Structure 1
Amino acid sequence: MFGLFKSKPELKKLIPNNYVDIHSHLMFGIDDGAQTKDDTKTIIESMKSLGFEQAIATPHTTPLVWDNTKEGILAKYDEVLNVLPTEAESLQLRVASEYMMDESFLQRLQSEKLLTLKDNYVLVEMSYINPPIQLMDILFHLKSNGYEIVLAHPERYNFYHKNTEMYKKLKKAGCKFQMNLLSTTGYYGGHVLEAANYLLNNDMIDFVGSDIHHTKHIKGFEAKIQIKAVNNFEKAIANNVFFKK
């Protein structure tokens, strides 16, 4: 597909019509994503215009910051379906969560069934400051409890940019990698773009996600991609069909 372009294309031109997004913050008033009903409506309409067929909202579950509960997330999802029924149906909107792996996560894992992207696939993230001390223990317990681990935006963890061997260890521990679409444009900075290039060049990206929070992210899809391993990027985009309802 990329060969059709004489120069690097805009990101939006690489989004297929059957794209299933597995990472977004479009539900209003629950985290640092959409804040109002109109925000949610605008984001959904924009996602549809970009070619998104389906989307899974993944509000943060981050203790002491976005201290959401499973019940609260499901209640907000019901509210979105109630106040924006047409928009939600047009995107076949579903809900899961993006779980912060911190010192409290193991207790959560033992006490409740997590909200998953599909079947047993769960979206998790780390702090951007440093990985959890118990990281490998957490991953082991996730796998032991029958979960498939989808690690959100590994390219954005600065502490791995000069320690790429950790990416291989995370893979061996059972992590599937979800890269942010905007990382391919340099949206998050040069170091993140470099990490995205490394992961794509080594065919380590399994899935992609928009991680859309607001209209500035939507605007970012107009930028041209900067990554080199475009074939592996397109393959990862196509892999998202796995999550189609």
Structure 2
Amino acid sequence: MWFFTKQKPILSRLIPEGYVDIHSHLLPGIDDGCASWEETQMRCAELKALGIHHFTATPHIMAGVWHNNRATIEPLAQSFSDHIALESSSLHWAAEYMLDAEFTQKLQEGPLCTLKENLVLVEMSYQQPPLALYDWLFELQVEGYRPVLAHPERYNFYHGKMEEYRRLKKAGCLFQLNLPALTGYYGWPVLKTAALLLNEGLYDYSGTDVHHEKHVQALSQPLAVKNEKAVVELLQKNVDFYTK
């Protein structure tokens, strides 16, 4: 007897027209993403082939590692069109802030490099949550910002602890899913957590977090979560991100 199962859709084929990638590392030589304008051109062309035409460069800002700021990021972003020849494509820029020992100083110096309006992309160490995590989330909001936590599914210290994710949401965090997680790129524990967050409707936005070719290739793999409807609805939240 033959048994037939529904073929899983390719993730990239679910990406809607007008989708804006709000998390990527496309600017060259500024962090652990693209190393040159040639590499940036390749990554952007690959993403465009998958239906992503609108990018947001979010270089890391991390104490002792990536000393980026508005002065290092903005000139590179403004020269994007001089180096990258892609029709019907656009680039916005912001930053991905590590919540670390220097974050309070960066917040005080301001203004922060936001995704749009008051939305600030932040991340944590993968080893453990910072002791001052909730203090920083509170301080951000006191200063008028809204934290967008990058790839919450990847923090293994929260795996199996859905109450911690709910606590973060109650503390004012928005959640941004890394799309490669939906194809199993980061492994089973991350995939499982992404599915749980997706099913509970805890994600607000998504992004590729593309650093290199393997991240792009992961987007062309079959969807590894069952809730296709929730994925489609989440992807739609990024459509016209900068115009709505």
TM-score strictly above 0.5: yes
Give runs of aligned pairs for residues 1-245 of structure 1, distance below 5 A. Answer: 6-84=6-84, 86-87=85-86, 90-241=88-239, 243-245=241-243
- In structure 2, what is the Cα distance between the partners aligned to 1:33 and 1:156? 18
2:142 aligned partner, one-letter code: S
- Deviation per residue, 1:87-134 (Å, 9 max, x gap): 3x6321111001101121111101110111111111111111111110
Q: Give the AA of the match of 2:215.
A: H
Q: Is the 8 Å Cα contact of residues 152 and 178 (structure 1) preserved in structure 2?
A: yes
- 3-state secondary structure, aligned to 1:90: coil
Q: Tell me whether 99-108 or 171-180 shows the greater mean CA deviation.
A: 99-108
Structure 1 residues without counterparts, runs of 5 or longer: none
CA distances 1:47-104 after superposition (whole Å, capped 9, x unpaired)? 11111131111011111111212211112213333322x33x6321111001101121
Report deviation, 1:181: 0.5
Q: Distance in 1 between matches of 2:78 and 2:90?
A: 13
Contact 1:60–1:99 under 8 Å retained in 2: yes
- Distance in 1 separating the partners of 2:143 and 2:82: 34
1:201–1:228 contact (8 Å) kept in structure 2: no
Report percent identity of matched pairs.
46
Matched letter for residue 140 of structure 2: L
Q: Which is helix-richer, 1 or 2?
A: 1
Residue 242 of structure 1 deviates from its aligned partner by 5.1
Q: CA deviation at 1:14?
A: 0.9
Distance 1:204 1:118, change over 3 A: same
Distance in 1 separating the partners of 2:240 and 2:150: 17
Distance 1:242 1:206, change over 3 A: farther
The question of whether the paired residues in 2 share the 8 Å contact of 1:184 and 1:226 is answered with yes
Q: Is the 8 A contact 1:96 1:117 kept in 2?
A: yes
**d(CA) in 1 for partners of 2:232, 2:142:** 32
Q: CA deviation at 1:225?
A: 0.8
* Matched position secondary structure for 1:123: strand
TM-score normalised by the chain length of structure 2: 0.94
TM-fit CA distance, 1:217: 1.1
TM-score between both structures, scaled by the size of structure 1: 0.93
Structure 1 residue identity aligned to 2:197: L
Contact kept, 8 Å, 1:26 with 1:43, in 2: the verdict is: yes
Q: State the Cα RMSD in Å.
A: 1.4
Q: What do residues 154-189 of structure 1 show as CA deviations (whole Å, max 9, x unaligned)?
A: 000000003221100100001110001110111000
CA distance in 2 between counterparts of 1:141 and 1:67 reads 22
